[in-house]
């Protein structure tokens, strides 16, 4: 999850399908099936704020030495909100050096300062769910801290996660994602996720690519593998993102300079001149139509 919001009045939907193959070395089970994911993001009230719905549904065949079972249900249903608390580029503009090409293309230590956002939400368990323990609470809090850095064509995003807080299934983890743009349409990513809890500990590596079909529609594909065999999991998926921003008004997010001040002053003068001209013309028309 990136640190920045989608933007005020913007709606973004991200949907995907995946296949999963899971087996456990000691419990001797296999689970093969498919799933669907949906994330809906909506920016409201402030440019920095967005509300998020995350859902994940899975259907698989769970097989042991003695039994076989078809399972289906919502593995995740989470409602939350994210707020950008710090943007290092707000009210800042890097001035070009007119005398040095090298200075303009050199690494800037300012790039190491990340944008920072916070997230708070709730996991909701709906109905009898075979993927969630019956001893688990029906409503549990979730919190995250997100950072984001831009290094030229690379973007580094880090999520620090505290999930199912104040419950017996509380877990902590992180996700670090490095994305690179190869062209205006193509991008790729690599990712590492770590999970730590009393019930499950693992590390997961993922990789994938995305392609921008149109200005507001993007498709992607990814594959992921964990490092343990308790269980061993392989997941591959495809997805589509759609963005509706017809109502969005762009926010200029850099420090005003002298040129901006001149432009504003010129706009004021132009508006005043037009207003005076319109008033003068109105007076002339009234004078022409006024009876003697």
Residue 111's Cβ-count burial label (10 Å; 0-12, 13-18, 19+) is middle
Residue 268 above 70 pLDDT? no
- Nearest one of 177, 173, 175 to 142, comparing CA atoms: 173
**What's the pLDDT at 78?**
97
Distance CA 21, CA 233 (A): 6
Structure tokens at 168: 């017996």
Higher-pLDDT residue of 109 and 23 is 23
**What's the pLDDT at 89?**
80
Torsion, Cα 34 126 229 60, to 10 degrees, reads -30
Mean pLDDT of the chain: 86
Record the pTM.
0.79
- Nearest one of 175, 176, 172, 174 to 196, comparing CA atoms: 172
Contact criterion met (CB below 8 Å) for 32 and 60: yes
Range 235-263 average pLDDT: 73
Range 268-278 average pLDDT: 59
Range 65-94 average pLDDT: 89
**What's the pLDDT at 285?**
45
Higher-pLDDT residue of 268 and 122 is 122
Range 135-150 average pLDDT: 94
Range 213-217 average pLDDT: 92
Range 184-213 average pLDDT: 95
Q: What values do phi and psi take at 244, rounded to 5?
A: -110, 115
Contact criterion met (CB below 8 Å) for 203 and 192: yes
Contact criterion met (CB below 8 Å) for 78 and 44: no
- Nearest one of 61, 174, 167, 82 to 124, comparing CA atoms: 167
Distance CA 115, CA 88 (A): 6
**What's the pLDDT at 136?**
87
Residue 288 above 80 pLDDT? no
Number of residues that this document lists for the chain: 292
At residue 102 the predicted structure's pLDDT band, cuts being 50, 70 and 90, is: low
**What's the pLDDT at 232?**
94
Structure tokens at 207: 């990789």
Structure tokens at 129: 């769910």
Sign of the dihedral through C-alpha 245, 250, 215, 175: negative
Distance CA 173, CA 102 (A): 40
């Amino acid at each position: 999850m990136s640190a920045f919001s989608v933007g005020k009045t913007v709606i973004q939907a991200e949907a995907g399908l995946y296949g999963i193959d899971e087996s456990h070395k000691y419990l001797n089970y296999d689970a093969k099936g498919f799933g669907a994911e949906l994330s809906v993001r909506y920016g409201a009230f402030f440019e920095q704020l967005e509300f998020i719905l995350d859902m994940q549904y899975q259907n698989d065949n769970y097989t042991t030495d003695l039994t076989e079972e078809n399972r289906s249900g919502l593995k995740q249903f989470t409602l939350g909100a994210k707020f950008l608390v710090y943007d290092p580029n707000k009210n800042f503009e890097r001035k070009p050096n007119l005398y040095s090409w090298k200075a303009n293309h050199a690494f800037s230590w300012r790039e190491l300062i990340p944008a920072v956002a916070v997230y708070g939400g709730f996991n909701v368990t709906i109905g009898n769910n075979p993927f969630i323990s019956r001893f688990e609470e029906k409503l549990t809090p979730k919190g995250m801290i997100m950072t984001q850095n831009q290094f030229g064509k690379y973007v580094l995003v880090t999520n620090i996660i505290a999930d199912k807080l104040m419950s017996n299934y509380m877990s902590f983890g992180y996700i670090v994602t490095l994305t690179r743009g190869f062209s205006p349409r193509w991008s790729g990513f690599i990712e590492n996720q770590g999970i730590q809890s009393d019930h499950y500990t693992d590390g997961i590596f993922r990789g994938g690519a995305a392609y921008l079909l149109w200005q507001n529609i993007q498709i992607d594909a990814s594959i992921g593998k964990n490092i343990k065999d308790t269980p061993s999991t392989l997941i591959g998926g495809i997805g589509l993102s759609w963005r509706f921003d017809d109502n969005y008004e762009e926010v200029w997010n850099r420090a005003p300079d002298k040129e901006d001040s001149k432009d504003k002053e010129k706009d004021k003068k132009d508006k005043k001149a037009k207003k005076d001209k319109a008033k003068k013309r109105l007076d002339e028309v009234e004078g022409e139509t006024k009876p003697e």
